[in-house]
Amino acid sequence: MIRLTVNGIEHTAEPAGAESLLATLRDRLGLAGSKDACEQGECGSCSVIMDGELVCSCLVMAADADGSEITTVEGLAPAGELHPVQRALVEAHGVQCGYCTPGFAVAAAHLFEREPSPSADDIKEALSGNICRCTGYGAILRALTGLAGEEP
């Protein structure tokens, strides 16, 4: 039995064996926003913020996450609202199939929390662990450089 605070709400869960935090979030807590595209830390689709750090939830053993505070894509903004990075991604057409989008939103939110006006290069480096196969990243970069008030 583990206790997690996810998006401000306390949960208990019983992960099976060494299952990942991603599996616990998706299959036990019903939070399917974090995606499972590679499950080995090479795509960023499952990114969450855990105790202030951006991590791949597929590489966190759920049993070891006991006591953690976690923010998933579902918790970036209050119900019915969008986080500024979410709004920017939608409005700049940075969303196509959308499978990578939650991971990008979480990683970008984490970046902007620490650095409100990152340069285009810093945005790229911060998002270099997130793979998108649809957009070629152009619209994602335009969304976030626009938010940062930077030229892409």
User: Could you say which residues in the range 68-107 bind other proteins, by CB under 8 A?
Assistant: 72-74, 76-77, 82, 86, 89-91, 93, 95-102, 105, 107
Is residue 136 within the footprint of other proteins (CB under 8 A)? yes
Q: How many residues bind other proteins (CB under 8 A)?
A: 76
Nearer to other proteins, 97 or 116 (CB): 97
- Sorted by sequence, the CB contacts under 8 Å of residue 20 that are 6+ apart come out as 39, 57, 58, 59, 60, 61, 62
Closest separation in Å from C-beta 92 to other proteins: 8
Residue of 8, 78, 116, 138 interacting with other proteins (CB under 8 A): 138
List the strands of the sheet with 53-56, edge to edge.
9-13, 2-6, 69-71, 47-50, 53-56
Closest separation in Å from C-beta 149 to other proteins: 19
CB 70 within 8 A of CB 6: yes
Residues 31-60 close enough to bind other proteins by CB under 8 A: 31-45, 47, 53-56, 58-60
H and E: helices and strands count for the chain: 5, 5
Tell me the C-alpha distance between 130 and 18, whole Å.
24
Residues 6-35 close enough to bind other proteins by CB under 8 A: 16-20, 23, 26-27, 30-35
